[in-house]
Amino acid sequence: MQAVQPRPSSAPALQFPKLSALTSERWLVGSFVFVALLAISIGLLLGPAQAYRRAPALRWDIPVFSYYYQALTLHGVLNALVFTTFFIVGFAYFVTQRTLQRALASVQLAWASFVIMLLGVVLAGYAMLTGQANVLYTFYAPMLAHWTFYLGLALVIVGSWVAALVVFMTYFAWRKEHPGEAAPLAVFALLANYLMWFSASLGVAVEVLTMLLPLSLGIIKTTDPQVSRILFWFFGHPLVYFWLIPAYVSWYTMLPKQYGVKLFSDPLARVAFLMIMIFSIPIGVHHLFVDPGISELAKAMHSLLTFVVAVPSLLTAFNIGATLEKAGRARGGGRISWMWKQAWGDPLIAAQICGMLVFAVGGVTGMANASFTLNNALHNTTWVPGHFHTTLAGGVFMTYIGILYWLLPMLRGRALFARPLATAQVYTWFAGILVFGMSMGRAGLEGAIRRTDSGAVGAYTSEAAAPWMNLSAVGGTILLISIILLFTVILGTLFVSKREPQTAAPILVRAPDESPRWTENWNVWVALIIITNIVMWGPVLFGALNWVSGFWSTPYPMQ
């Protein structure tokens, strides 16, 4: 790797090659992307395997990981925690450097973040692959995994904190040299993302370090499951926004650049990111609507604020919709026809637009989840994975693929392999995730339970849910085809492609003049985050503590 030392603030700007990457970028960002791809090479394939296991018409055994809940743990942790975190941290380094046109404030710290996170993945991966951590990615106490699982996940989070620090340091160095100038939107959004992530992950860090890790090491003997769930979901909902914001960065800053149009409203984009940052944490009780230790009032309040956090996404729908209208009109579209005058044949753009369409479905089903009394009918049914496969595996993952299709060629220094296959991959994923999400949702309404090995002997699936579970296997098959296409394109780009890369990074290096500076009052936002969470989570945590018997519960092994 090319050593880039921490530089004084007067250092000259870095010159980035237009179509390829600096060696330092290639190694650092490439390492993160590589681990991310390694994670989903296992994690994605376990998806269709589970759909086949759960379809009443098939009930096939899962290959390699025959214990359903081990496969499910790997699927959740590798896709939703490892892939996402590594991809986001690498992407954030790349975007920060390119947008601010300067090197990271500390390359050593950036590498430290990678090493810490990698060590975490190795530890957690060991526990999961050897079947000593079949606790799913929510790892609810008092069920226990091997201590390496908790330590590993804690290290992934700590590593991401170091990454956040590096991005903030780089931003403050830039800020010193550019007083009075608004930070470019992409960096602004990533800062908001990291601030939210750091605040939220304090919850799970406390849970892991004071409850689960000492418990798994035998240092303490008892724990409080309700409190551990509360700490987990303090983190768990902002986690999904941590995945979402990089996708929004692509929609807000990269899609306009790729189209050669200007974003409809930069100021309202900033408002949207600020709202997500502040309102994504004090709403986590919507995952705990049927928990016994939380009052109905707190549940209603968190439900209300969940509706508020829908606003930035609805703002995004307008802002991006208006931007797409500009693009469609520029491509010869009229008042209505701009909608289909989009670049449907370009996988980089189609992945994002298809992602938005699936995400809209997820937004609507999410509103149902946010509705506290409706939760009686939906909680822990397959409706819920139906929902988050349209948001995470739909909108977010499709956008990440759209990013990967220009980022990977730049990092490798080769053009995207088999572009038509990449386009086919986008549309098969689009179709597959819609079929899967819809069928899981319907099965859930008919009473199918999530996270249940319904293919096992003696397990129950209602007759009304059975056809929908079978249909979800059809969706899984379409997705399996898409996974094969995805890895064909990725491996082809890495090892087969010979041509020079042809797509520049869609990075905007300057904020437009109308960008408001007040949005960068980070002290105020930190204060607001602290206050809202004391108000919204304080009573929940205090009320859930078991005053009768204290921290009492005996832990159980994971099987």
Partner 1 sequence: MHIDRYERQYLIAVAAVLGLFFAALVSSALVFGVRLPQPEGYINPLTLNRTVFANPGMRNMGNGVYDVYIVARMWAFDAGSDEKDERGQDVLRVPVGSTVNFYLTSADVTHGFIVERHNANIEVLPGHVGRSSTRFNEVGTFHIQCHEYCGRGHQNMYIKIIVEPADGSAA
Which long-range contacts link 519-523 to residues 24+ away (Cβ below 8 Å)?
Answer: 519/182, 519/188, 519/267, 519/270, 519/271, 519/274, 520/175, 520/182, 520/183, 520/188, 522/191, 522/195
Among 38, 118, 158, 310, binds partner 1 (CB under 8 A): 310
Q: Which of residues 312-351 bind partner 1 (CB under 8 A)?
A: 314-315, 318-319, 322
**Beta strand segments in 243-341, E:** none
The token pair at 216 is: 């798994």
Does position 375 bind partner 1 by CB under 8 A?
yes
Buried b (16+ CB within 10 A) or exposed e, 116-153: bbbbbbebbbebbeeebbbbbbebebbbbbbbbbbbbb
Does position 162 bind partner 1 by CB under 8 A?
no
Q: Which of residues 107-136 bind partner 1 (CB under 8 A)?
A: 136
Among 209, 217, 377, 526, binds partner 1 (CB under 8 A): 377
Does position 303 bind partner 1 by CB under 8 A?
yes
* Comparison of 160 and 381: residue with beta carbon closer to partner 1: 381
Is 517 a residue of the active site? no
Q: What is the CA radius of gyration of the chain?
A: 23
Q: Which of residues 430-469 bind partner 1 (CB under 8 A)?
A: 447, 449-454, 456, 458-460, 462
Is 329 a residue of the active site? no
Among 10, 15, 523, 549, binds partner 1 (CB under 8 A): 549
Active-site pick, 83, 137, 188, 241: 241
Among 217, 304, 496, 531, binds partner 1 (CB under 8 A): 304
* Comparison of 119 and 367: residue with beta carbon closer to partner 1: 367
Helix (H, G, I), strand (E, B) or coil at 209: helix
φ, ψ for residue 250, nearest 5 deg: -65, -45
Q: Which of residues 277-296 bind partner 1 (CB under 8 A)?
A: 288-296
Active-site pick, 32, 65, 279, 388: 388
Among 176, 256, 250, CA closest to 512: 256
Residue 318: CB minimum distance to partner 1, A? 5
Please state, in angstroms and as integers, the Cα–Cα distance from residue 288 to each residue in 76, 178, 296, 475, following that order.
19, 45, 11, 29
Q: How many CB atoms lie within 10 A of CB 154?
A: 22
Binding-residue pattern over the window 213 to 252 for partner 1, x denoting contact by CB under 8 A: -----------xxx--x-----------------------
Among 101, 380, 488, 532, binds partner 1 (CB under 8 A): 380
Is 287 a residue of the active site? no
Please state, in angstroms and as integers, the Cα–Cα distance from residue 307 to each residue in 115, 294, 310, 320, 361, following that order.
39, 19, 5, 20, 16
Does position 372 bind partner 1 by CB under 8 A?
yes
Among 50, 258, 280, 381, binds partner 1 (CB under 8 A): 381
Q: How many CB atoms lie within 10 A of CB 455?
A: 20
Does position 16 bind partner 1 by CB under 8 A?
no
Does position 369 bind partner 1 by CB under 8 A?
no
Residue 168: CB minimum distance to partner 1, A? 25
Task: List the end-to-end C-alpha distance of the chain, in Å, as a whole number.
Answer: 45
Is 75 a residue of the active site? no
Task: Return the active site residues.
Answer: 237, 241, 387-389, 450-451
